[in-house]
Chain A
């Protein structure tokens, strides 16, 4: 009964605040569109409504993250349209800051001690995922595209590129969601360590895999050949990002050692600088921040100080990041490509389940990991979305259709993922906060 009342109160609060936002934006000032209003008004509205939606999700036994995402989707351009697309673009600054912050957090959570303890299951699951999910999705969808008329694909080259990119995107996870759920439930243990380590490791593999497929697909469509220097260039780029991250991590250690004041603010500013710097010199900012976080945690005594400060300031970052992420998810192709989207989501989950079980069984991972760790690999968002933008910009012929279809699938994965992961950590009894 208490939960029901709490849900009702929060729902009525959301309704009230939405009405005010609607009146201000549409009726009182008679503005021609939402675009003339400051994006910070939308930000304030999103923070309040996402927080309230998070409370509703919590009352329903779901992760708060699902509520933040739901608020973003509901008020975003694809449903009610309260938050416009230009607003989302304007708030990109906060979004990129949040991504770097999450990457530093993820790095800070990776302790060499616990990785060393579970090194075999981590490598086993990563390898089996990389092989089974990528090849499984590629084979199934290539056969489907060439032998059925699921979606109109002009030629076999496009079908091949479509299937290859789907394979790589299926492999990607959402470190942000994983970290957010771990932080919310303060989860700790083998299961949590393994899921987090595999997620991070896989994202590095996805980055390399994506660059390789990108080179291959560009070669196919433009008639050029895939070369060894190109591969070296990609690997060099990643190595450089790692080196920059290492250096940045040591700079952060210097701050923690000699100044150690206003640490929460420092981490937010450090995340922002890392993002802007990586963007400026053309490095992978997620990888750079991840390595910086790992460096602080494993090469200094200040790792715990950093994690404590992060725990103090993570809530606003998650609320803003996930509500904006929800608002940027587009469901416009959901009806037209319903079958394809559902097939992709279901086959991906089945492959994740099978490959996780196989990988952990072969490496004699703990029984809880064998049984439930697949739940941590369903969500996929940030990295997959940024790869989709690159595909859209590079392949003007089929890129936009591909992007529209896959975004709907990502949206579904992103809604399902946190719920499943929460179920997983509850079942393995690694939750420290209820």
Chain B
């Protein structure tokens, strides 16, 4: 059977499978991880889909653009400095601590990256249990932006001077052009189409030039959010399809990345989980961050954004199928998500 037809068949099967297995049993708090699992399952089927791998870049680009387009500087500058300091300290110190411990297990590069990726806390999971504490929700909502900035810093250190210059130039050029094109729209209804075209173009350009599609689109998104007159329309057009986007992204990622079924991978995952559990427990108990009033396991789930951050680097490295570090990372994320959801649910009951 045609691989394309099989791919579509898998997608339909996933939707149906998730509905009957997870949703009917009210196990929907895995925020998309079930699609990643199904992707792993389908990756075991021997079909040739590598030609479709470049499709992952626009997905990353879309998520980057969406994240960036939420960052409006005029609101950010209005916030309390104390609050900033506590979020920044939480993110940076937690990342640093996890990095130091993980360096004993993995290469320094992968340790830093996994630490950056595991610091964000799934907003959707937390919002299911904590509904009224605005401070906590806002605190969690800011962390992904800081993680993105840390990733940007990570690339700045890792890239050569030429690549860095190229990245800065392209961020500037794409930002100005996107703003110019999106400002002179004839028909506001067609904004979706233009956004799709621009994001595919920017993301694939980054892939060709060896730049991070997530980071470049994030920066373009920030520029659009602050300097484009149609920023609100753009944001709602992007946000409208967020759920579908994550579902497709996780499913495709599972299929393309696959998983290495080796004891070493699972041992590494176990150690990563333990490190994250210990570090997060310690940090969440510090009174300065004002998160200790809620149970710490609410904050364990890293969510889909964590996977996005690591995927960007995995693709940046060449996107090898069943890569050891990436498999360990994905297993850890799924496990942390499950631990968080199950413990939170049992606590609620």
Contacts and interface: CB of A to CB of B under 8 A. Distances in A.
A45 B194 CA distance: 10
Given A265-B244, A273-B8, A41 B205 contact: yes
Top 7 nearest A-B pairs (CB, nearest first) are A47-B197, A44-B201, A44-B200, A41-B204, A48-B197, A276-B5, A38-B54
Interface string A265-279: 100010011001101
Query: Which among B11, B58, B187, B193 has the highest number of chain A CB atoms within 10 Å?
Result: B193
A9 interface: yes
Contacts of B177: 13, 16-17, 20
A363 B204 CA distance: 56
Interface residues on A, range: 35 or more
Contacts of A315: 190, 193
B148 to A, nearest CB: 22
Nearest to B177: A16
Interface in B1-38: 1-2, 4-5, 8, 11-12
Nearest to A319: B193
Contacts of A236: none
B196 A316 contact: yes
A10 B194 CA distance: 13
Contact of B8 (A25, A29, A51, A276): A276
Interface string A14-48: 00110011001100110000000110110111111
Contacts of A262: 244
Contacts of A111: none
Nearest to B3: A276
Contacts of A10: 184
A280 B1 contact: yes
B164 interface: no
Contact of A28 (B181, B204, B207, B209): B209
B166 to A, nearest CB: 7
B198 interface: yes
Nearest to B185: A55
A58 interface: yes
A138 B170 CA distance: 57
A114 interface: no
A52 interface: yes
A316 B193 contact: yes
B181 A58 contact: no
A29 B208 contact: yes
Nearest to A39: B54
Contacts of B166: 28
Contacts of B205: 20, 24, 41, 44
A429 interface: no
A391 B5 CA distance: 28
A39 B177 CA distance: 22
A316 B54 CA distance: 20
B80 interface: no
Nearest to B187: A55
Interface in B179-220: 180-181, 184, 186-187, 190, 192-194, 196-205, 207-209
B173 interface: yes
B197 A44 contact: yes
A280 B2 contact: yes
Contacts of B209: 24, 28-29
B339 interface: no
B55 interface: yes
A6 B181 CA distance: 11
Contacts of B192: 316
A40 B204 contact: yes
